[in-house]
Amino acid sequence: MTLAGYPRPLQDALLDSARAAIASIDLRIHVGAHPRIGAVDVIPFVPLRGISMQECVALARSFAARYARETEVPVYLYEEAALRPERKNLENVRKVQFEALVKEFGNPDRAPDAGEARLHPSAGATVIGARQFLVAFNINLRSRDIAVARANARTIRASGGGQRNRGSGN
C-alpha cells in the first residue's frame, strides 16, 4: 500500500493502519513465501515534492520512536535513516524471517533501533526508513524452473548487483 500526504496526518494514518494490522495478523500462524519480520513489515518515507531526503530521514527516525512507543513493536531503521551501516540494505535487516528472528532476538546485534529489545509476540518487528522510489515489477517466464527465475532475479535486483536507484530525492 502506498500513501502520500503531509507528514503529521500521514504519520497518524500510518499508525491507525498499523494498529489494525497488528490486531489482525498473527505471524505465529502466518505463512507465505515473501520474507517478512513483522505484521507491518516495512514503512519507507520517500521524498516527493517539497521535502528533502534529509527531512525524510528525520521524519523516519522520529516516527520510529513514536511507532515503537505506541504499538509496542520494535523498529529497525534502514536505507538513509539507518543508524548502523549493516542495516542500510533492507535485505540485511530482513535476512532472517520472523520465525528465526524470535530465536535471535536476544543477540545484541539484533537489538532494535527504537523500542524495547523484545519482539511483539504476534506482530514481530517493523523496518522504517527513508529511501528513493522503489521500482518493482513482475516478469512472466516461459519456464517452471525456479533456478531460472532466481538467476534472473540475481541479475536484475540491486542486492544481486543490478541497478540501484540514484535519484535526486526531490
Q: Assess if residue 111 is contained within a domain.
A: yes
What CATH number does residue 60 fall under? Answer: 3.30.990.10
**Which of 12-21, 25-34, 155-164 is the most confident on average?**
12-21
Please provide the size of the chain in residues: 170
- Residues 6 or more apart whose CB falls under 8 angstroms from that of 119 comprise 74, 101, 102, 105, 125
For residue 168, name the pLDDT band (cuts at 50, 70, 90). very low
- Whether 158 maps to a domain, the answer reads no
Whether this model's pTM surpasses 0.95 = no
In a domain, 149, yes or no: no
How many folded domains does the chain comprise? 1
Tell me, yes or no, whether 114 lies in a domain. Answer: yes
Does residue 107 lie in a domain region? Answer: yes
Distance between CA atoms of 101 and 83, rounded to whole angstroms? 19
CB 44 within 8 A of CB 131: yes
Average pLDDT over residues 27-45: 88
Q: What is the pLDDT of residues 41-74, one digit of tens each?
A: 999 999 988 999 999 999 999 999 999 999 999 9
Q: Which domain holds residue 125?
A: 7-134
Model confidence over 78-130: pLDDT tens digits? Answer: 999 999 999 999 988 988 888 888 788 778 888 999 999 888 999 999 999 99
Report, as residue numbers or ranges, the catalytic residues: 34
